[in-house]
Chains A and B, each alone.
Chain A
């Protein structure tokens, strides 16, 4: 669109519009970035600098005490591991459940397909509510186990439909030739469909992974043992309940007047620790999520 000839003909008004738009967008970008900057500088601030500076907006020294405390904290380190385990395990389980369902439902000639689909759709718009759901999970004996962080939310109807819609757009020819060679349905799914639909596999598994990594509700509702709490729940103790006594090490450090540290600094350092993993995978996330949204917008 922006060819040379086109550019030459742009009027003064158009150029003013360009400058205005870029100005607004740049302002919005700064508004997006500034809160992160603020978190970062607060997380490395020294107690006395914060107390003495009326507007702490420029780091005066870099003090990593808060990070040292966090990494020494047994509870936080443990919760990080828990989160890694349930994210990997939960995503694998979710894909194992979602892929075959989506593929079978994508077969237009499957008898009863519409009825089955209605069963899925109804579950998206009506629910038994929090308590009956809670009681079912408790009844299954999942309370206070890592399973509860992976199993109850393993199947997501919306993600399944996104995947089904993608399968609908795949050409039949590959499958047909495999069928002629005598391949069964499960063989076709595992050897042909999954390897040739990398974009949707990446997208949906990232959807699931982010959902598992960011979840705190399951941990709050079902986990009592502190050593089984995922990262978000420990973060929640620091951020929401403002309970800075994370574990023994940190509690001791807090009592120790030599290691005086501003409460907000620990909070902000914890936020940084929880944000960095997402930042590291963000390039993949952005690439695939954008694609996923586009795929999802193609209706059945």
Chain B
């Protein structure tokens, strides 16, 4: 008899829980979710449905079911297209370059700033380094023009020294230097903030006991500061690996699109700039560029999953 009662109770509890979301308290919370999720639905999930375009021949002014179905035809073209593979290779190369050049820079900057004992001075430096982050890439390209165009101040300087002018914007390797350099200039101070925050979270007593043990500055940096920020460095490293197919973050398109030109396509044309040109500058081959976008999105998504798993394997929190 007590079993029957228990069962009845359990059923009631389950029913109660099942209908929990209907309670008035939650009803108004769900109402609050409507605007945000409406935006997600329209601007994120509806376009995902549009991926089906990748399997059709796009025709302006027609509904998708009226367009000719081409199956994997666009992907056939894509995989046989050397221009696509060039963009693919460039994207990976630029990402790698960023990992080697741009990733360590803010870590080092944070370590250096942490060694400044005068807090006002430290803040002044930070104020200077962080400012360029807030400028648009258009403004930064303008600033780089002033420095590196053929009549820019750097070339004036080379000219005064009797050196030949350097075509920074139109010669492959110089252009890559400009890409990495301008990114560093714009973002290094901003990126250092998160590492400084990690350092600020270190227990000061650790430094005191290191000093008691006779550690010099280098030793306490290596044995106290670095272990305290290592977790943050690993997470951000993993995040940037996840961005491999973006040539390093969403800003890469803003930067490269506004600086590149046909003379440097061979090293600087990335997947996103390729997609843009295919879509809007060479007729409207929307089916094909949707296919390119899909190819990229799928690989990038699996990359994020793999990287997230890797983060958990090395004992970090992961992204989700």
Cross-chain contact A232 with B136 (CB below 8 angstroms) = yes
User: Mask for A178-216, Cβ within 8 A of B = 1, else 0?
Assistant: 000000111001000000000000000000001001111
Cross-chain contact A116 with B128 (CB below 8 angstroms) = no
Any chain A CB within 8 A of the CB of B145?
yes
Contact partner of A240 among B109, B138, B156, CB < 8 A?
B138
Cross-chain contact B43 with A155 (CB below 8 angstroms) = yes
Complex CA–CA separation, A154 to B117 (angstroms):
42
Given contacts A97-B39, A101-B37, contact A128 B50 (CB under 8 A): yes
Report B297 CB to chain A, min CB distance, Å.
Answer: 6
- Collect the chain A residues with CB atoms within 8 Å of residue B280's CB: 221
Interface residues of B in 47-95 (CB under 8 A from A): 47-51, 53
Complex CA–CA separation, A239 to B135 (angstroms):
14
Cross-chain contact B33 with A101 (CB below 8 angstroms) = yes
Top-5 shortest CB links A-B: A129-B293, A132-B50, A101-B36, A128-B47, A214-B136
Complex CA–CA separation, A214 to B28 (angstroms):
35
Interface residues of A in 275-295 (CB under 8 A from B): 275, 278-279, 282, 285-286, 289-290, 293-294
- Collect the chain B residues with CB atoms within 8 Å of residue A133's CB: 43, 47, 50
Cross-chain contact B128 with A136 (CB below 8 angstroms) = no
User: Mask for B271-301, Cβ within 8 A of A = 1, else 0?
Assistant: 0100110011000001001101110110011
Q: In the complex, what residue of chain B is closest to A139 when comparing beta carbons?
A: B46
Q: In the complex, what residue of chain A is closest to B144 when comparing beta carbons?
A: A35
- Collect the chain B residues with CB atoms within 8 Å of residue A97's CB: 35-36, 39
User: Which of B7-15, B147-155, B262-270 lines the interface with chain A?
Assistant: B147-155
Q: In the complex, what residue of chain A is closest to B221 when comparing beta carbons?
A: A17
Selected A-B contacts with CB under 8 Å, 9 pairs? A11-B216, A18-B115, A100-B35, A125-B300, A128-B46, A131-B275, A131-B290, A213-B136, A289-B130
Given contacts A14-B217, A25-B116, A293-B194, contact A210 B138 (CB under 8 A): no
Q: In the complex, what residue of chain B is closest to A11 when comparing beta carbons?
A: B216
Cross-chain contact A271 with B139 (CB below 8 angstroms) = yes
Given contacts A133-B43, A299-B317, contact A232 B48 (CB under 8 A): no
Complex CA–CA separation, A103 to B272 (angstroms):
35
User: Which of A66-74, A84-92, A106-114 lines the interface with chain B?
Assistant: A106-114
**B-side binding surface: helix, strand, loop or mixed?**
helix
Complex CA–CA separation, A183 to B35 (angstroms):
22
Contact partner of A55 among B125, B156, B197, CB < 8 A?
B156
Cross-chain contact B138 with A35 (CB below 8 angstroms) = no
Any chain B CB within 8 A of the CB of A96?
yes
Cross-chain contact B48 with A111 (CB below 8 angstroms) = no
Cross-chain contact B275 with A103 (CB below 8 angstroms) = no
Any chain B CB within 8 A of the CB of A258?
no
Cross-chain contact A21 with B115 (CB below 8 angstroms) = yes
**A-side binding surface: helix, strand, loop or mixed?**
helix
Instruction: Show the binding face of B for A, using Cβ within 8 Å.
Output: 20-21, 25-26, 28-30, 32-33, 35-37, 39-40, 42-51, 53, 109, 112-113, 115-118, 121, 125, 127-132, 134-139, 141-147, 149, 151-153, 156-157, 159-160, 185, 189, 193-194, 197-198, 204, 207, 211, 216-218, 232, 254, 258, 272, 275-276, 279-280, 286, 289-290, 292-294, 296-297, 300-301, 304, 317, 320
Any chain B CB within 8 A of the CB of A76?
no
Given contacts A21-B112, A54-B159, A216-B136, contact A185 B25 (CB under 8 A): yes
Report B299 CB to chain A, min CB distance, Å.
Answer: 11
Given contacts A42-B146, A110-B26, A135-B50, contact A116 B35 (CB under 8 A): no
Cross-chain contact A125 with B132 (CB below 8 angstroms) = no
* Most chain A Cβ neighbours within 10 Å, of B30, B48, B134: B134
Contact partner of B204 among A1, A105, A210, A274, CB < 8 A?
A1
Complex CA–CA separation, A215 to B300 (angstroms):
24
Cross-chain contact B147 with A290 (CB below 8 angstroms) = no
Complex CA–CA separation, A1 to B286 (angstroms):
61
Interface residues of A in 114-173 (CB under 8 A from B): 116, 119-121, 123, 125-137, 140, 152-155, 157, 160
How many A residues are at the interface, by size bracket?
A: 35 or more
10 more A-B residue pairs beyond the given contacts A39-B143, A135-B286, with a C-beta to C-beta distance below 8 A: A35-B185, A111-B26, A126-B297, A129-B293, A131-B293, A132-B293, A136-B42, A185-B25, A232-B136, A240-B258
Cross-chain contact A267 with B142 (CB below 8 angstroms) = yes
Report A274 CB to chain B, min CB distance, Å.
Answer: 5
- Collect the chain B residues with CB atoms within 8 Å of residue A132's CB: 46-51, 53, 290, 293
Given contacts A131-B286, A293-B197, contact A274 B136 (CB under 8 A): yes
Complex CA–CA separation, A29 to B157 (angstroms):
20
Complex CA–CA separation, A275 to B145 (angstroms):
15
Cross-chain contact A268 with B146 (CB below 8 angstroms) = yes
Report B173 CB to chain A, min CB distance, Å.
Answer: 21
Cross-chain contact B275 with A2 (CB below 8 angstroms) = no
Any chain B CB within 8 A of the CB of A28?
yes
- Collect the chain B residues with CB atoms within 8 Å of residue A8's CB: none
Q: In the complex, what residue of chain B is closest to A155 when comparing beta carbons?
A: B39
Cross-chain contact A282 with B35 (CB below 8 angstroms) = no
Complex CA–CA separation, A251 to B49 (angstroms):
46
Complex CA–CA separation, A264 to B228 (angstroms):
47
* Most chain A Cβ neighbours within 10 Å, of B25, B29, B50, B217: B29
